[in-house]
Amino acid sequence: MKTSIFTKVKLIGIISATLIIIFSSIFFLKTDFYYFILGTAIFIGGLPFFIALIIESKDVKEKEEMFLEFARDLVEGVRAGTPISKSIANIRSKDYGILNLYVRKLANQIALGIPMQIAFQTFARDARSKTISRAITIISESEKAGGRIEAILESVARSVAQSDKLKKERRASMYTMVVQGYIIFLIFIVIMLVMQFKILPIAPSLNMASEQVQENPISTGSLSKILPTGKTATPEELARPFIWLIVVQGFFIGLVIGKLSEGKVKAGLKHSFILVVISLWINAGAKLFWG
């Protein structure tokens, strides 16, 4: 149900953003408002995906935390001499938060006579977590092979706990780097804005000086050579690539931040979204203020 709602919201966001971009390209393409409207369109279109990524990340963290509780309860049951299938049935009524649905489905499948390996595979597939999937695979194979299942379950529980601890330590240690990434990007934007609004406007005067120097045979060229047509490049033409340079920089910095902080490039998409929208809005605001 939640997935279908998010899919509809994403579709509405994409359609709205597309219409806004088309409308702004027709009526505001050569105005200072264009990049502000473009940033707003990206914000509207990307916001549902941004929220979905945050919720998905939060759900995965909660699932892994609850799975640790589930594994510990399963260890206690098996250690007491109860078969693993019976232990799962005994703990199905306990509260595991977001994992409740999956635990009860697992218990129901086992009660209906579905082989435990298949039931465990379904549990891992539904949970959509690499940590849970690895743990379930170990438990499933161990149950199939026999032996001291309680010792293996204890090892799995310790492994999940250690993995969760390492992830938390990684996020805490990388927090400073994430902040530094944002600060560096903002400094980069400031540098680009200074070049765009303070340095490039003096280009025509530099070009005039260069043309005067051309009377000297030793002079080899001028700023007019910048354009393929040989015409003088205006400050607006020189500044046009700057906004796309900032956008591309923000997108890839976001991916790097996500990879370093959470170990996944996908996690960096939310940072890319924030940085791209910020870069477009700041550039548009600077144009309205200084342009």
Coil vs helix vs strand at 1? coil
pLDDT(220) > 50 = no
Instruction: Please check whether residue 181 is in contact with residue 256, taking contact to mean a CB–CB distance below 8 angstroms.
Output: yes
pLDDT at 225: 44
pLDDT at 160: 77
pLDDT at 6: 62
Of the candidates 162, 173, 146, 167, the residue with the CA atom closest to the CA atom of residue 71:
162
pLDDT tens-digit profile of 84-128?
Answer: 788 888 888 888 888 888 888 888 888 888 887 888 888 888 888
Of the candidates 282, 286, 261, 283, the residue with the CA atom closest to the CA atom of residue 271:
261
CA dihedral 9, 256, 61, 85 (to 10 degrees): 100
pLDDT at 148: 67
pLDDT tens-digit profile of 250-275?
Answer: 889 888 888 887 777 887 888 888 88
How far, in Å, CA of 78 to CA of 150, rounded? 6
pLDDT at 221: 44
How far, in Å, CA of 208 to CA of 212, rounded? 6
pLDDT at 224: 43
Of all residues in the chain, the percent with pLDDT exceeding 70 is 81
Mean pLDDT of 274-281: 87
Outline where 28-148 has alpha helix (H): 34-79, 84-91, 100-111, 116-127, 130-145
pLDDT(213) > 50 = no
pLDDT tens-digit profile of 176-198?
Answer: 888 888 888 888 888 888 887 77
pLDDT at 73: 83
Average per-residue pLDDT for the chain: 77
